[in-house]
Structure 1
Amino acid sequence: MEGRRITASPRPCSGRRVVAKKRTRPDGFVNSVKKLQRREISSRKDRAFSISTAQERFRNMRLVEQYDTHDPKGHSLVALPFLMKRTKVIEIVAARDIVFALAHSGVCAAFSRETNRRICFLNVSPDEVIRSLFYNKNNDSLITVSVYASDNFSSLKCRSTRIEYILRGQPDAGFALFESESLKWPGFVEFDDVNGKVLTYSAQDSVYKVFDLKNYTMLYSISDKHVQEIKISPGIMLLIFKRATSHVPLKILSIEDGTVLKSFNHLLHRNKKVDFIEQFNEKLLVKQENENLQILDVRNAQLMEVSRAEFMTPSAFIFLYENQLFLTFRNRNVSVWNFRGELVTSFEDHLLWHPDCNTNNIYITSDQDLIISYCKADTEDQWIEGNAGSINISNILTGKCLAKITSSSGPPKEDESSSSSSSLGNNSKQRRNAVAEALEDITALFYDEERNEIYTGNRHGFVHVWSN
């Protein structure tokens, strides 16, 4: 779930809008985005095969390994007392057979799936608190976004470290990024994998800058104190200016060079709060408090409305660029819409565990046909094993639940690796209890499509590996 925006606020806060990007396949083959966008969803002849394949892929998922982000002896570099406390896992990223797990305290650990050992901690300074992670596939590196005690945790600092250095246990071999930028609150940095760009905002001088994600070269800047927000879509950026009484000024720019493609005003209801303004290619979505959803085609100014009774303001969006759809999250429920304002899918068994739509607990596959989430157990399974939830895998286009991992899914087999046995317990009852405990209070989730493994982190700082 990329398009991640990290702000310089004292505490981490995830943006309301998250972009589901196209992830690179292991062999480097990536279908043309335009080709996929032209494909009609209803014409997919291989849908039944894809569903059966997905069911087989996830059918026998079992708990096979456990990692611990907490070092009871204390990280040798850590100088801040709170970094030594056991805290929940808030983010998981996997790349090149490495699992990176970031704890709420700000400590980040890297684990090898080959050796099942911790490689190193990524904190390279005694006062460093890592806030977020981003894997840059363009140069096979991990970007860490941190704040520092020496700066009173007020300014974001970015560092790029090649994966090969991390594999050698040399996290300090990276280099700093965007050193010229002052990313103090309310400044931010946003990594956009769809367009291969980085957007930074320096609140000190009200300047937005766009960098190339491949080599971090600055491409252009936008200096306008009246810009209130910037939203990024494939190929374009939407500039939202401070609203007037009855309208909001908007500009659409080319993401490549900042050229203004269109300037216009969108009429608003007076004295009504704007719930959101979102941009998806040529479609502009505008919703005001207690008003209908408006979908504007910016090419021809054609406007359609969706009744406020049918479309209520969600807490978050995920845009599916490959399928020309978008997901909304509201009151633990996920819905799929098209840009004609029609409800495409309601999920039959996908009630999210977290009411605040923690997007680190949601994964969209590269084909954007499956959603993997941490969910409430259904009526039959609920609370059978303590307070355990379930990991649900559902088809986005049909809403069907294809597979789920529950506390009754079964313990690891007796003949699994000794490392798994030692970390999860040596007998069937211990391992069964380990499964139930691993499904309690999951706070982060990631699916590695190359290895076909699901990684989850919980409030105790443990990372669990689910594989078949």
Structure 2
Amino acid sequence: MLYSISDKNVQEIKISPGIMLLIFDKASGHVPLKILSIEDGTVLKTFNHLLHRNKKVDFIEQFNEKLLVKQENENLQILDVRNYELREVSKAEFMTPSAFIFLYENQLFLTFRNRTVAVWNFRGELVTSFEDHLLWHPDCNTNNIYITSDQDLIISYCRADSDDLSSEGNAGSINVSNILTGKCLAKIRATTSSPTDECSCSGRCGGKSCNSKKRIQASGIRSTVAEALEDITALFYDEERNEIYTGNRHGLVHVWSN
């Protein structure tokens, strides 16, 4: 064991490369914060962040030297903890997301809210909104999202038709989009046409396995592509093999391969 932290007032911790943020119980009009070195627990900075007294804290997130603070019905605050420079983003532009993913390579972050994904920078500017990337789950199940190691692509389980928010029993699609441009680059989806050698995912999934009339067989279990694209609960992309793995609520794993 390298060290331990014992403080009954610590409410939450956040981890960034090399540092750890301790968030303490909210005090009157502020929240006490400490930034520690992950290596040895040395306290690098101690400070208080001012809060509106009667507003609940929606989130406090840390990204390197940037601190993101949002209170209920208030603007987003982006604080640089090195010089305490503060930026604000209007609450009308930035609504509280259900999840974040930080892109350390690109100095950006993703927000997820109501099935939509957006990309922001730390000046509080919207960088990207996606043209065809409506997530299947409204609460952002990040098990169904994969970001490539270069942080240039996002692969997600999405609605096959962005305009269709109806039955949960329909087959979804696996969408591949460029994070910086928002363009949809590829899509694996079930089709209703007769079996052909055509593929509806722009050739990225291997070509001949993307038609709903065709069947996948493994270990004696047969699934149509439409069945394989229903109720996906986990998604992973093997970047070396260029294969997408999906698991569904029936306990089946499917591999989408070139």
- With normalisation by structure 2, the TM-score equals 0.87
2:63 matched residue in structure 1? 280
Q: Which amino acid aligns with 1:412?
A: S
Q: Secondary structure at the match of 2:137?
A: coil
2:204 matched residue in structure 1? none
1:454 matched residue in structure 2? 244
Aligned CA distance change for structure 1 residues 337 and 443 (closer, same or farther; 3 Å)? same
Equivalent pair of 2:89/2:124 in contact (CA under 8 Å):
yes
Q: Which amino acid aligns with 1:262?
A: K
2:142 matched residue in structure 1? 359
Equivalent pair of 1:245/1:271 in contact (CA under 8 Å):
no
The separation in 1 between residues aligned to 2:111 and 2:73, in whole angstroms, is 17
1:28-50 deviation line (CA, Å, top 9, x unaligned): xxxxxxxxxxxxxxxxxxxxxxx
Deviation at 1:420, TM superposition (A): 4.6
Q: Secondary structure at the match of 1:304?
A: strand
2:209 matched residue in structure 1? 412
1:262 matched residue in structure 2? 45
The separation in 2 between residues aligned to 1:380 and 1:312, in whole angstroms, is 22
The separation in 2 between residues aligned to 1:424 and 1:259, in whole angstroms, is 55
1:337-368 deviation line (CA, Å, top 9, x unaligned): 00000000000000000111111000000001
Q: Which runs of 5+ in 1 are unaligned?
A: 1-217, 414-418, 426-432
Kindly report structure 1 stretches of 4+ aligned residues shifted beyond 4 Å.
379-383, 419-425
**What is the RMSD computed on CA atoms of the aligned residues?**
2.0
The separation in 1 between residues aligned to 2:140 and 2:116, in whole angstroms, is 9
- With normalisation by structure 1, the TM-score equals 0.49
Q: Secondary structure at the match of 1:221?
A: coil
Deviation at 1:334, TM superposition (A): 0.3
Deviation at 1:245, TM superposition (A): 1.5
How is 1:207-286 mapped onto 2 (pairs within 5 angstroms)? 218-286=1-69
| Structure 1 residue 312 corresponds to structure 2 residue 91 | no
Deviation at 1:378, TM superposition (A): 2.2
Aligned CA distance change for structure 1 residues 412 and 310 (closer, same or farther; 3 Å)? closer
Q: Which structure carries more relative contact order (alpha carbon 8 Å, separation 6+)? A: 1
Which of 76, 98, 119 is matched with 1:293 structurally?
A: 76
| Structure 1 residue 444 corresponds to structure 2 residue 234 | yes
Identity %: 86
1:434 matched residue in structure 2? 224
1:112-147 deviation line (CA, Å, top 9, x unaligned): xxxxxxxxxxxxxxxxxxxxxxxxxxxxxxxxxxxx
Deviation at 1:437, TM superposition (A): 0.6
The separation in 2 between residues aligned to 1:309 and 1:458, in whole angstroms, is 37
1:361-415 deviation line (CA, Å, top 9, x unaligned): 00000001100000001259999xx7111000000010000000000247539xx
1:60-83 deviation line (CA, Å, top 9, x unaligned): xxxxxxxxxxxxxxxxxxxxxxxx
Equivalent pair of 1:353/1:389 in contact (CA under 8 Å):
yes
Q: Which runs of 5+ in 2 are unaligned?
A: 192-198, 200-206, 211-215
Equivalent pair of 2:102/2:108 in contact (CA under 8 Å):
yes
Q: Secondary structure at the match of 2:226?
A: helix
Q: Secondary structure at the match of 1:436?
A: helix
Equivalent pair of 2:108/2:120 in contact (CA under 8 Å):
yes
The separation in 2 between residues aligned to 1:268 and 1:295, in whole angstroms, is 13
Aligned CA distance change for structure 1 residues 252 and 382 (closer, same or farther; 3 Å)? closer
How is 1:158-169 mapped onto 2 (pairs within 5 angstroms)? none
